[in-house]
Amino acid sequence: MTGEVSSARAPAADVPGRQSRLAASMLLALAGWLVLALLLSVPVVYHSRYIVYLGTLLALQAALAVSLNIVLGFAGQFALSQSAFFGFGAYASALLIRDLDVGFWTSLPLTALLTSVLAVAVGYPAMRFTGGIHLALITFAFGELLRLVTANLHELTGGPQGMQLVYTPGVVLGVDFGSTRGLYCLATGFLLLCLLISILVRRSDFGRALFAIRDDETLATSLGIDVTAHKVAAFTLASTLAALAGAIYAVFTSFISPEMMNASDSIALVGMLIVGGLGTTPGPILGTLIFVGLPEFLRVAKNYRLVLLGIIIVVMALYSPKGIAGAVNRLMTGTRRSGA
Amino acid sequence: MLRLTNISHRFGGLEVLRNVEFSVAEGELLGLIGPNGAGKTTLFNVITGFVRPGAGRIFFQDRDVTGYPTHRLARLGLVRTFQGARSFHNLSVEDCLRVARYRRVGDSERDRELERVVRLLDLEEFATEAASSLPAGLARLLGIAMALSTGARLLLLDEPAAGLSAGETDVLQQSIRRLQQAGVTVVVVDHNLHFLMNLVSRAIVLDAGRLIADGPPATVTAEPRVIEAYIGGRDLAGD
């Protein structure tokens, strides 16, 4: 404590240290982007259907984690409806295409529009009067409700047996997005879009306000920030991106079922963020690689995966509350402040 | 600047504010004192929209703002600070101030304004530090700086000197005077009578939810009712 006080009192002596810290974190960020580029190029170089398939799945899963990070990591709002909106997006897009005869690409903005209306309708009452555990319960209940409704609307959705989809995105600008590789490009492009949005949000006034809300809602209100509007906006953005991921997932697998909306998937996403680093930029991607990628490569049976992940979450929560991204950052840049 | 008429409020059966009426003139530096449980914090909460008063009206710059939500009042220029050192501990000092000056002016103008706030409160050296790393006295100043960054016209400071050392209290006093010189109207609540009496030009005294005195600090502290409520009388009578 005394060390912190004296360093705060004598910032001039601290400047060289701060500069090297800044340089280290920039190098780290650069290394991170290089690794990501390398990972994303593997399925393009490798001529294996399996690798391309896995890459597409991981990209979509990572996009879900990146978008959840905006509401859970930045704004600190415990929303458990990410997979419900993922499924909603898949069904919305599929039904628009099947019943209203719109094309795949047209269905995307329409799905986004429908989802944002739904997200505001769910998010506003949940975040206006309550927060914390109540929000978790309300979003959890909403997700389950959506899943049951989808499973019971047999005529529209095909019920629990799901829907077989017969459409493909087709050829755009010379790229066949219906092919395995084209779908991989679509999923990767969407992941990069989510990352870009998340980085822009983080650097904007809006993003700073979200971090402020996470730290102290009352103080944020007292400084003129409309806390409810910000929380609902973050929730709506995250849910809309999840729905778009769902629409792409639908065309990728050609089959959707109410199981896409399973709440356990939403909870697993929260786990990915905790392991990777809540609120950090690389966190959601690291978490996805460990949660989904690693077990796939190690061929661990699905049941053991959850045991393994449970252990990882407990260890991370105890020893590195900021996840892997936080731990790496601390090691590389030598930042010792636990709170910063 | 600020006018309260007939403000009353109760928590269940407990009447915490009874017909409180006073006004604050533009540019004034006003002290609000009273023993524990007098209703000072509730009054602050009522004025800043955290609590809707059971009865009475609040006017800010001749506008009836009764029932306005806190964030809207802050945007109009009515801002409070909190007891203790509250800040956004994951943000740097600079970012805390930027959050407070959110979206109301252009970027370059905002940077100029924030620089002015930082200079006014002597926080230049700490701009890039994490808010959580500041010692108590500076953290208190950061709280005021954030409130000021919103473009506040009226600042309500809730026990800004509580728990500070003598040296830190002096710095705080000077900072508050500078705020007033910069044209901000200030209302300060504090237990530390010495701190307040050296600072304000007018004091109002609250006891058991009632306003019992209003005037220059020297006059107010000499009033028998105030002495009874605040210093002697009931509080010590039982001992």
Residue spans per domain, chain B? 2-237
Decide which of B106 and B50 is more confident: B50
For residue A228, pLDDT beyond 50? yes
Residue A242 scores a pLDDT above 90? yes
B79–A205 CB contact, under 8 Å: no
Highest mean pLDDT pick, A27-31, A157-161, B174-178:
B174-178
Cβ within 8 Å, pair B82-A222 = yes
**Which range is most confident: A23-32, A62-71, B228-237?**
A62-71
pLDDT given at position A301: 59
At B78, the pLDDT band (50, 70, 90 cuts) reads very high
Complete DSSP assignment for A8-21 = HH-GGGGHHHHHHH
Q: Mean pLDDT lowest for which of A56-65, B97-106, B229-238?
A: B229-238
Q: Is the pLDDT score of B144 beyond 50?
A: yes
pLDDT digits (tens, 9 = 90+) for A159-212: 888 888 888 887 778 777 878 888 998 999 999 999 999 999 998 889 999 999
Angle at B130 between CA B125 and CA B135, to 5 degrees: 70
Give the range with max mean pLDDT: A24-33, A156-165, A201-210, A300-309: A201-210
Q: Is A208 on the interface with B (CB under 8 A)?
A: yes
Give me the pLDDT at residue B229, please: 76
Q: Which of A21, A223, A228, A333 to mutate to test the interface with B (most CBs of B within 10 A)?
A: A223
Distance (Å, whole) CA B161 – CA B169: 6
Contact B100 A221 (CB under 8 A): no
- Tens digit of each residue's pLDDT (9 = 90 or more) over B26-65: 989 999 988 887 888 889 999 999 988 888 899 999 899 9
A194 vs A242: CA distance, rounded Å: 10
Provide the percentage of residues in chain A whose pLDDT is more than 70: 89
Q: Tokens for B31, please give them.
A: 């002290």
What's chain A's average pLDDT? 84
Q: Which segments within A124-282 are labelled E, that is strand?
A: 163-164, 171-172, 175-176, 255-256
What does chain B come to in residues?
239
Q: Is some CB atom of chain B closer than 8 A to the CB atom of A8? A: yes
C-beta of residue B80 within 8 angstroms of C-beta of residue B158: yes
- Residue A305 has what pLDDT? 67
pLDDT band at B70 (very low <50, low <70, confident <90, very high): very high
Report yes or no: A209 at the B interface, CB cutoff 8 Å.
yes
Interchain proximity A222–B80, CB inside 8 Å: yes
**In a 10 Å sphere around its CB, with 0-12 CB exposed, 13-18 middle and 19+ buried, how is residue A315 labelled?**
exposed
Q: Is B20 helix (H, G, I), strand (E, B) or coil?
A: strand
How far B93 CA lies from chain A's nearest CA (Å)?
Answer: 12
pLDDT at B102 over 80: no
Contact A224 B100 (CB under 8 A): yes
In the predicted model, is pLDDT for residue B193 greater than 80?
Answer: no
Q: Which residues of chain A lie closer than 8 angstroms to B117, CB-CB?
A: none
A340 and B133 within 8 Å at the Cβ level: the answer is yes
SS (H, E, C) A28-62: HHHHHHHHHHHHHHHHHHCCCHHHHHHHHHHHHHH
The most confident of the ranges A4-18, A81-95, A252-266, B162-176 is A81-95
Q: Do B132 and A227 touch (CB under 8 A)?
A: no
Closest CA relative to residue B21, chosen from B226, B210, B234: B210
CA distance B24 to B3: 6
Using the predicted structure, report yes or no on whether residue B20 has a pLDDT greater than 80.
Answer: yes
Distance from CA of B135 to the nearest CA of A (A): 6
Residue of B nearest to A8 (CA): B134
Angle at A129 between CA A124 and CA A134, to 5 degrees: 90
SS (H, E, C) B103-149: CCCCHHHHHHHHHHHHHHCCCHHHCCCEHHHCCHHHHHHHHHHHHHH
A215 contacts B88? CB cut-off 8 A: yes
In the chain, the amino acid numbered A36 is: L
Fold for the domain defined by B2-237: Rossmann fold (3.40.50)
* Average confidence score pLDDT of chain B: 84
**A164 at B interface, C-beta within 8 A:** no
Q: Name the DSSP class of A304.
A: H
User: What pTM does this model have?
Assistant: 0.85
Task: Check B146 against A225: CB less than 8 A apart.
Answer: no
* Single-letter code of the amino acid located at A25: S
Question: Which of A222, A322, A335 to mutate against chain B (most B CBs within 10 Å)?
Answer: A222
Q: Mean pLDDT check: name the lowest of A124-128, A134-138, A293-297, A298-302.
A: A298-302
What angle (nearest 5°) sits at the alpha carbon of residue A137, between those of residues A131 and A143?
Answer: 120
Q: Could you tell me which residue, A263 or A307, shows the higher pLDDT?
A: A263
> For position A110, what pLDDT does the model report?
96
pLDDT for the residue numbered B12 = 82
**Predicted pLDDT of residue A220:** 92
Q: How far is CA B83 from CA A202, B86, B123, B126, B140, in A?
A: 29, 8, 20, 22, 9
Q: What pLDDT, on the 0 to 100 scale, is given for residue A180? A: 84
Q: pLDDT tens-digit profile of A311-336? A: 877 887 777 777 787 777 777 666 54
The pairing of beta strand A163-164 with beta strand A255-256:
antiparallel
From chain A, the residues in CB contact with B72 under 8 A are: 224
Residue B11 distance to chain A (closest CA, Å): 20
CB B23 within 8 A of CB B3: yes
Instruction: Check if the beta carbon of residue B147 is closer than 8 Å to that of residue B155.
Output: yes
Q: Averaging pLDDT over each range in A44-53, A107-116, A312-321, B19-28, which range is the top one?
A: A107-116
Q: Write out pLDDT tens, residues B211-220.
A: 888 889 888 8
How close A8 comes to chain B (CA, Å)? 7
Q: Chain A residue closest to B130 (CA)?
A: A340
Mean pLDDT across the stretch A24-42? 81
B228 to chain A, minimum CA–CA distance in Å?
Answer: 35
Res A62: pLDDT: 94
Among partner residues B90, B99, B126, which is closest to A8 by beta-carbon distance? B126
Model confidence at A2, pLDDT cuts 50, 70, 90, reads very low
Chain B positions in Cβ-Cβ contact with residue A221 (cut-off 8 Å): 69-71, 74
Looking at the complex, report in whole angstroms how far the Cα of residue A42 sits from the nearest Cα belonging to chain B: 36
**Residue B22 CA to its chain's centroid (Å):** 15
Which residues in chain A have their CB less than 8 angstroms from residue B91's CB? Answer: 208, 211-212, 215
